[in-house]
Amino acid sequence: MATTPPTRSPELRKDPVTNRWVIFSPARAKRPSDFKSKSPENPNNNSSSCPFCIGNEHQCAPEIFRVPPDPNWKLRVIENLYPALSRKLDHPNGQNDDSSSELSGLGRVVPGFGFHDVVIETPVHSVQLSDLDPSEIGDVLIAYKRRIEQIKQFDSIKYIQVFKNHGASAGASMSHSHSQMLSLPIVPASVSTRLNSMKEHFNQTGKCSLCKVQSKDLLINETSHFFSIAPYASSFPFEIWIIPRDHSSHFDELDNKKAVDLGGLLKLILKKMALQLNNPPFNFMIHTSPIQVTDSEIPYSHWFLQIIPQLTGVGGFELGSGCYINPVFPGDAAKILRELNVPI
């Protein structure tokens, strides 16, 4: 008579980087290897009316730069046609100080000056980021770096968030492969929480929480300059972090050689995720340090790239408590992805 294999007991883990508690509840899921996206992303390949396709540049918001700088471009950085913040507010050199914020009985208000940009990653509508070769993905990463360096000239900008939404259910309004950059006049609370949590770990251990793999069971793949893991307290099933081996506080410290190296690892991870999880919608975010990070914060602030496949929804418990329920232990997710062979 067949018996049901024992289920692992639920477990709560606190992440030393995000300072977030996560409940691991494997009884709520099928086998980790059975996880598949219920709504795989099938990009719309109709390029005739897509403003991001080569030849349709006139349909876009103003261009910031392109690579290479000729009609046969490989990537473009443009203004967002529907920006969350305004780059046209009257700020000399974009300067802002405490006098520009107002505190009332309802809360604090800061003028909505900032930059909201789009990085068009390829001129061809049917090509996705994971279809590019490592050097081409490296070019996209260097475009982020170049734009960050431009924006850092504005004193009022405190934090720059690079992110990619792939698939409609992940927030993408355009199927043409692209990513975005939102430059803010404030440091978001989640960023401050992350830095404070990393500081606490550093004060307790004398070590950066991200400088090395804490457990080989969590390792997925590694290269000369980066390694990928399923983080110890993953908020989402099959969440992945790609982390620089060398301690680095700011993403824009990335050089060309490391960009190609990161491009190869990012390609591999996206390919593995698509194959194992049925090409799911996903988000990736680059978590870097605030622009005005102090010298005392550098020893424990370490940038990383987070990838979240959209496999489960966020419900009232998560929204109300800030505590997530994950049905897949990270070691199980890492093992499945580590052992998956993907031709590149």
178 is catalytic: yes
Closest CA to 211 of 300, 98, 281, 89: 300
DSSP string, 175-193: -S-EEEEEEESS--HHHHH
For 184, residues 6+ apart whose C-beta sits below 8 A from its C-beta are 85, 114, 157, 158, 159, 160, 161
Instruction: Report yes or no: 240 and 277 within 8 Å, Cβ to Cβ.
Output: no
Instruction: Report yes or no: 202 and 318 within 8 Å, Cβ to Cβ.
Output: no
For 180, residues 6+ apart whose C-beta sits below 8 A from its C-beta are 80, 116, 117, 118, 119, 162, 163, 164, 165
Which whole-number Å values give the CA distances from 343 to 34, 42, 126, 251, 338, in the listed order? 22, 21, 20, 28, 13
pTM over 0.85: yes
Q: How far apart, in whole angstroms, are the C-alpha atoms of residue 59 and residue 81?
A: 10
For 94, residues 6+ apart whose C-beta sits below 8 A from its C-beta are 113, 153, 154, 155, 156, 157
Pair of tokens at residue 167: 């698939």
- Specify the pLDDT at position 111: 84
Q: Which of 178, 201, 225, 250 is catalytic?
A: 178
- Specify the pLDDT at position 213: 78
Pair of tokens at residue 315: 């419900």
- Specify the pLDDT at position 284: 95
Q: How far apart, in whole angstroms, are the C-alpha atoms of residue 176 and residue 172?
A: 9
The dihedral built from the CA positions of residue 148, 259, 136 and 280, taken in this order, carries a sign that is negative
Which residues in the chain come in under a pLDDT of 50?
1-4, 92, 94, 96-99
